[in-house]
Amino acid sequence: MRGDPSRFDTSESNDCKMAENGHENMDSVDDSLQDIDDCDVGNPNDEDFYDDLPDSVIVTNIADSVFLDPDTQKQFEEVFRYFDESVTFNFLKSFRRVRVNFSHPEFAVKAKLSLHEMEVCGTCIKCYMAQPRDKSRDKTDPHLQLPALTKQFLISPPASPPVGWEPVTESEPIINYDLLAAMASLTPGEAHELHKQTESQPAIIVHICENKEASDLYGDKRPKLPQTRCPERKT
């Protein structure tokens, strides 16, 4: 814990603790913050204890003067700097909220327990713990990874791939070599039986035409379409 807690007043008013500049009731301020210092919230060096704890606090019901007046904003920041001198702030004016980011979850827990429902800059603020940070994502690249440098037939990804999307490998194209060999063996001018005749089914025979026969059958010249005569122009 850092800073001078004697700058804030926590006298009771409308069921809300107070934290304003002044020099009265300083003993009650020290006692209130000393209770937070003495509480057992874990060992700061025990990282396993803080794995599931966030290092940020969301403060709601902020006075408008905190967003408009630089002096009032500085006074608001000093209340939280008592717990951590390296604290940072994200002021969300449209929501009348402030996100307070501490250097360690222990400071966030103590600030939440101490300042919840305390009157700061004329309003009774509410303090809530932010969403815990997923440390498993810190060690991985959040971007979509390229596929391995191998010949793949991948289905195109969507325009905006959702979280956890993985490329799906499409089945390789099927090449029927038997069919290709059968087609290559078809000789023009000969009949090829594809299906033998049975008692219930007829035979299927394919006759491959030669180019010369096709030319003699249809002819090389195509019929010409007569041109429509234009109407005579009147002079």
- Write phi, then psi, for 166 (nearest 5 degrees): -125, 145
Q: Tell me the C-alpha distance between 197 and 210, whole Å.
A: 26
Q: Is the pLDDT of residue 222 over 80?
A: no
Domains of the chain and CATH, by start: 56-129 (3.30.70.330)
Distance between CA 229 and CA 226 in Å, rounded?
9
Position 215 scores a pLDDT of 52
* Residue 110 scores a pLDDT above 50: yes
Distance spanning both ends of the chain, measured CA to CA: 107
pLDDT at 176: 79
Rounded mean pLDDT, 210-226: 60
Amino acid letter, residue 214: A
Q: What is the pLDDT of residues 74-107, one digit of tens each?
A: 888 888 888 888 899 989 888 888 999 988 888 8
Q: How far is CA 41 from the centre of its chain?
A: 32
pLDDT above 70 as % of the chain: 61
pLDDT on residue 8: 42
Please give the pLDDT value at position 19: 46
Please give the pLDDT value at position 159: 77
Q: What pLDDT was estimated at residue 105?
A: 85
List, as one string, the DSSP characters of 74-109: HHHHHHHHTT-TT-EEEEEGGGTEEEEE-SSHHHHH
Given pLDDT bands bounded at 50, 70 and 90, which one contains residue 11? very low
Taking only the tens place, the pLDDT of each residue in 133-184 is 666 666 667 777 776 666 555 667 777 778 887 777 667 677 878 877 877 7
Indicate if the pLDDT at residue 25 is higher than 50. no
Most confident of 33-37, 100-104, 212-216: 100-104
More confident call, 37 vs 154: 154
Residue whose tokens read 């250097």: 103
pLDDT tier at 196, thresholds 50, 70, 90? confident
What is the structure's pLDDT at 14?
Answer: 46
Residue 65 binned pLDDT confidence (cut-offs 50, 70, 90): confident
Structure tokens at 198: 């049975």
How high is the mean pLDDT of the chain?
A: 72
